[in-house]
Amino acid sequence: MIGDIPIYVNYDSADVWSHPEVFSLDADKKPVNVAGVPPDYFSSTGQLWGHPVYNWDVLKDSKYAWWLRRIEQNLMMFHLFRLDHFRGFVGYWQVKSDEETAINGKWVQAPAEDFFKAVIRKFPDIQIIAEDLGVITPDVKEVMEHFGFPGMKVLLFAFGDDLPTNPYAPHNHVHNCIVYTGTHDNNTIRGWFKKELDQEAKNRVADYIGHDLQEKNIHWDIIRLAMMSVASIVIVPMQDILGLGEKDRMNLPATLQGNWRWRLKHEQLTPAVKKKLAELTEIYGRKQPAD
């Protein structure tokens, strides 16, 4: 079982109420600095998340006790986990709580190496997947490489006009990574193909795969690329295995309604779907030995 640990917690959470000292709060326990990301290609004002950022000096003095307890709790439920917004453990975007956008923030360094050394001392066999999507700076890559944390490769990000050098393209993968066809924030493969690719991009995908594409089979084409990657682990959303369209996507970022409601029905896993998935799993050496 793979879990997921969000980097931040809500201001109105039990964690902030019970451990206000590890968060950036004033004497009245109101947020002083909150989290977000700076302006970028996707948003001219950045993203103002509003979660109180951590007081890393206090956390360090306590030998990261709060974080270690949080990780320990997750390890009671999961074998390994994805650590959300990994770059924030190296350097995070901090914004004053009275700002209305994330424009007037600043980068603040976090004690990444010291923190992860403490994590590994406490949990020597821990396995962490670093959520390293987006613009990742060299210092973040250095921390990942130092501790051997695998990053994420999302195939739906691979087919831009930079395809030959795109780090998400299968020929640029490394063994120590996790390849996803798409994540919970992406469209489904079929929805992506139908709604998000222009003809030029579709031609790139077809040239890369080596044959003409059909909407009804595009999900298996992309799943096959994931399976043949050298990545150590492949993760495919069930919506992609079933070849479902945009209306069945899990989440649409920056929206508050209608997300996380998709549910799998038993009858959707037909013998034909199971057979196809089993064939690809075996062909590319990803079949696990029986217990």
pLDDT, tens only, 230-284: 999 999 999 999 999 999 999 988 777 899 999 999 999 999 999 999 999 999 9
Residues in the chain: 291
pLDDT digits (tens, 9 = 90+) for 124-171: 999 999 999 988 899 999 999 999 999 999 999 999 999 999 999 999
pTM over 0.85: yes
Question: What span, in angstroms and rounded, lies between the C-alpha atoms of 183 and 190?
Answer: 14
**Residue 185 among the catalytic residues:** yes
Dihedral class, residue 254 (left if φ above 0, else alpha if ψ from -120 to 50, else beta): left
Pairing verdict, β 233-235 and 177-180: parallel
Per the residue annotation, which of 15, 84, 113, 246 is the catalytic one? Answer: 84
Residue closest to 120 by CA, chosen among 101, 157, 145, 147: 147
pLDDT digits (tens, 9 = 90+) for 180-214: 999 999 999 999 999 999 999 999 999 999 999 99
Per the residue annotation, which of 15, 113, 185, 246 is the catalytic one? Answer: 185
Q: How confident is the model at residue 291 (pLDDT cuts 50, 70, 90)?
A: low
Q: Please, are residues 180 and 235 in contact by the beta-carbon 8 Å criterion?
A: yes
Per the residue annotation, which of 131, 132, 240, 248 is the catalytic one? Answer: 131
**Residue 131 among the catalytic residues:** yes
Question: What span, in angstroms and rounded, lies between the C-alpha atoms of 280 and 229?
Answer: 12
